[in-house]
Copies of this chain bind each other. A is one copy, B any other.
Amino acid sequence: MKFQSLVIAFFAVSHLMAQEHTHQSSRALEFPNIPGYTTLKTDLHQHTVFSDGNVWPNIRVMEALRDNLDVISLTEHIEYQPHKEDIPHPDRNRSYEIALKEAQNHDLILVHGSEITRQAPVGHNNAIFIEDANPLLVDDAVNSFAEAKKQGAFVFWNHPAWYAQSPKGNPVLSDFQKERINKGELHGIEVINTGDYSEESLALALENNLTIMGTSDIHGLIDWDYIEKGHTRPITLVFAKERTVESLKEALFAGRTVAVFNSLLVGKTENLVPLLNASVKFEKAKYIDNTTILEITLRNVTSSDLIFENQMPYTFYSSSPVFTIPAGGTKTLQIKTLEKIMDLTLKLKALGAYVAPKEHPIVSWNIRLEE
């Protein structure tokens, strides 16, 4: 009781420290909405001291706010509790409850989740939108999945290519996964986990109509595993009707996602192409005097560098056909249209994006030029 006010006071101390200037380069993730949908930035695979992570749940909330995420889920291993000697609490919902208190003070959506973990072929799987993690803790994984379904969970297979369980890194569906899919108990698959992108997992996603996921799977600190290495954390962009838990859930079941890690974007064509379309804005289009060379400035409104290759019949005047628009920056193209035109169809291949293994999307923008 005597110490009731101490937490607040201690935090105040650290805020008091006068800042001469901050050196932090911006790490806020930014992606535009697409027509008809709000784009939610999510990281739905994370750990804390309540399983084998190294931080208290509130740190995960604060990391998410620094990264400008909309949604997170703490997905503790319910079966694997290396800190059990010190944190013996039998309730597997504690991590969620503690984080919820922190998240409620901020504009961050917290989704209740849990990891279901076994050796291969079951492997690791995340169930999110659960109501109670405790009933998932049963011996037979089949029963865990059944319980998750009963709770209405969205379930995805974590890092299928993980070499500790798949020494060749080329996952295939086992009977277990096939049965889960058939029973409507497995809905998504991580195509990006940590910094690892698996073309094989992408193929599985497309063949089995699973939702494409990207997650950080963070155990330590986002700052150490990503930021100080010059990376951004892997995330899943979810295209939801509204910024609510219900809309998020609908969108995940409907497969409306793009997985993102640095400049790599992976998604189904119907999701990735609209995202890329919305990611580039146009400024200052006009012909250079006395020429048929059209000068146009492209602005990248995302936090990912976007790498493109020209796919138009026209060549460029002062750029390589392969070019990058830096995150949040611009690139000015001069396009040799050979005659003055009123409508330009800018057509670019997105070299950092994949809609299938080895397949880049081609994106077109119709631009009405002013006279």
The interface of chain A, by Cβ under 8 A from chain B, is: 2-3, 5-7, 9-14, 16-25, 49-50, 52-56, 58-59, 62, 77, 79-80, 82-83, 85-89, 94, 98, 117-119, 159, 161-164, 167-170, 193-200, 217, 219-221, 223-225, 228-231, 263-264, 288, 290-293, 295, 307, 309, 315-326, 329-334, 336, 338, 351-352, 354, 357-358
Contacts and interface: CB of A to CB of B under 8 A. Distances in A.
Nearest to A59: B54
* Copies of this chain per assembly: 4
Contacts of A317: 16, 161, 163, 169, 196, 198
Given A13-B217, A292-B168, A21 B230 contact: yes
B290 A167 contact: yes
Contact of A229 (B23, B217, B318): B23
Contacts of A164: 5, 9, 12-13
Contacts of A231: 17
Given A13-B217, A169-B292, A194-B318, 20 more contacts: A9-B164, A14-B220, A16-B195, A17-B194, A17-B225, A18-B195, A18-B334, A20-B326, A21-B230, A21-B326, A22-B229, A24-B228, A53-B56, A54-B56, A59-B220, A167-B291, A169-B317, A200-B315, A315-B357, A322-B352
A115 B271 CA distance: 54
